[in-house]
Amino acid sequence: MNINIYKYKHIIFDWNGTLLNDLWLAVDVIDKMLVQRKLQGMTHERYCEVFDFPVRDYYQNIGFDFNKESFEIVGTEFIVEYDKRQYECELQQGSVELIEKLHQQNIHLSILSAREQSMLEQNLKYYGIEHYFPVVSGLKDHYAHGKLESGLLLIEEAHIPAAETLLIGDTLHDAEVAREMGIDCILIASGHQAIHRLKKAEVPIFERLDLIIS
């Protein structure tokens, strides 16, 4: 599939699963949480079939009972355990090279993430790529409710038309957000949802991030 990514003047990246290869960690953390509660454990394959937004529904679908413990307790436990090991994760293959090529073409780059804002900023600094992104937009808390409002604000602040803007993500939610923002979308199948699910979005899909401009 040939996509002329250089025709866009503004490219918005998702973080978890798109630029950051953290699928394995998300699976490991949620698996331990489920097993501790004597629920069915999590595998890589099952995770990619069931992970979804809003995450509250995802938690319920895999067995958490919010009559016994609140969504906030479960969500906070996941984030605490994830954050303990977050820097064991690496960036996705070819992500820095892709970002650098886009930067050299003077394409405005930003990040739209369901990650909490301050932690997102820390992550970018740790991986040494914060200078590529003049604007990064996370959420105000850890509970990953959705990204549409933040995405619309990114469009407004960039002063670049929606028709010249692209979102690159790894979930159906990313495609839904892009559609509601009125912008194009590319999905990457090396993130948090299985490729057969991503095909429902009817947008271009690449197996890996580095293949977009290969």
The pLDDT assigned to 110 comes to 97
Judgement on whether residues 197 and 108 belong to the same structural domain of the protein? yes
Report the alpha-carbon distance of residue 118 to residue 120 in Å, rounded: 5
Structure tokens given for 12: 């918005």
- Given a cut of 90, whether residue 11 has pLDDT beyond it is yes
pLDDT category of residue 149 using cuts at 50, 70 and 90: confident
Judgement on whether residues 161 and 203 belong to the same structural domain of the protein? yes
Judgement on whether residues 130 and 183 belong to the same structural domain of the protein? yes
Report the alpha-carbon distance of residue 14 to residue 123 in Å, rounded: 13
Do the Cβ atoms of 44 and 191 come closer than 8 Å? no
User: pLDDT of 106-127, one tens digit each?
Assistant: 999 999 998 999 999 999 999 9
- Into how many domains does the chain fold? 2
Judgement on whether residues 119 and 184 belong to the same structural domain of the protein? yes
- Given a cut of 80, whether residue 141 has pLDDT beyond it is no
Report the alpha-carbon distance of residue 113 to residue 151 in Å, rounded: 9
pLDDT category of residue 144 using cuts at 50, 70 and 90: very low
Q: What is the mean pLDDT of the chain?
A: 94
Judgement on whether residues 150 and 179 belong to the same structural domain of the protein? yes
In this prediction, residues 138-165 reach a mean pLDDT of: 82
Judgement on whether residues 12 and 112 belong to the same structural domain of the protein? yes
Kindly report the pTM of this predicted structure.
0.94
Closest CA to 153 of 112, 191, 195, 98: 112
Strands 20-21 and 90-91: antiparallel
Judgement on whether residues 157 and 185 belong to the same structural domain of the protein? yes
Count of beta carbons in the 10 Å neighbourhood of residue 165? 24
